[in-house]
Amino acid sequence: MTTRANFFATRTGIIAVGAVLGVIAPVLQKLGNPGNMGICVACFERDWAGGLGLHRVAVVQYLRPEIIGFVLGAMIAAYLFREFRGRAGSAPIVRFFLGVFALIGALVFLGCPWRALFRLAGGDGNAIFGLLGLVTGIYIGTLFFKAGYNLGRSQTTYPAVGWLLPTLFVGFLILMFIFPQIPGQGQSGILFYSTTGPGSQHAPLLVSLGLGLIVGFICQRSRFCTMGAFRDLLLFRQIHLLSGVI
């Protein structure tokens, strides 16, 4: 157990995680996800909002199972390696609005940092400008950090708090089975489904869920983070996470 747990903390381990992510994304694309995308957390969350009826842009409405897999895969890894602990973060309002603006920026670019890398791999030169903007923003963030700004430490709380999000996503998965997509129809029960556009393009549900579980599991074990990779390079001159990105 100890050997497996420590492997992902090594340089070889983080490179292996990057390689697995680099393979899974085009596999998902090949199996039905939108072209030039594969995995994009920002785009997936946009589609989720549509699938729940929080917006009515008909071409981007689908509860992408990969997101469920990310959450449950990370939870499974945390339990297997005895790292599952309920935590409550500090400054929730600030974190919420920072997240809002981060997602707006990602969707203006048409992708999160992961998709920027996959777009670059696919030969899309616009990704270069997106990554330059990302690195510039991270650099500005490091200046705030050096000046003493922080949002405070998260605090350990009741285990039940840590179960809230995974339980919610299990509920969403059940809803997808209760109200499956009906060909040619934009709504099934309380869920919305795109019939055209990017939201209508997706890999089979169980395949998406399974690959999402793998991503969530290995990212929890390795702490893989694209923005963290550039932060560590700029702030500490460390390339551990960046080696996985590369």
- What are the pLDDT digits (tens) for 45-84? 999 999 999 999 999 999 999 999 999 999 999 999 999 9
Percent of the chain at pLDDT > 70 equals 98
112-166 pLDDT per residue, tens: 999 999 989 889 999 999 999 999 999 999 999 999 988 888 888 999 999 999 9
Whole-model pTM: value is 0.91
- For the stretch 182-188, contacts whose Cβ atoms lie closer than 8 Å and that sit 24 or more positions apart, written own/partner, are 186/58, 186/61
pLDDT score at 155: 86
Mean pLDDT for 223-233 is: 93
C-alpha dihedral sign at 58, 99, 33, 125: positive
3-state secondary structure string across the chain: CHHHHHHCCCHHHHHHHHHHHHHHHHHHHHCCCCCCCCCCHHHHHHHHHHHCCCCCCCCCCCCCHHHHHHHHHHHHHHHHCCCCCCEECCCHHHHHHHHHHHHHHHHHHCCCHHHHHHHHHCCCCHHHHHHHHHHHHHHHHHHHHHCCCCCCCCEECCHHHHHHHHHHHHHHHHHHHHCCCCCCCCEECCEECCCCCHHHCCCCHHHHHHHHHHHHHHHHHHCCCHHHHHHHHHHHCCCHHHHHHC
| pLDDT for res 166 | 95
| Phi, psi for 75 (deg, rounded to 5) | -65, -45
Q: What is the tens place of the pLDDT at every residue in 181-211?
A: 999 899 999 999 999 999 999 999 999 999 9
Distance between CA atoms of residues 106 and 204, nearest Å? 26
4 pLDDT higher than 70: no
Which pLDDT score, from 0 to 100, does residue 104 have?
92
CA 67, 70, 76 angle in degrees (round to 5)? 140
Residue 230 has pLDDT above 70, yes or no: yes
Read off the pLDDT band of 5 (50, 70, 90).
Answer: low
What does the pLDDT read at residue 1? 42
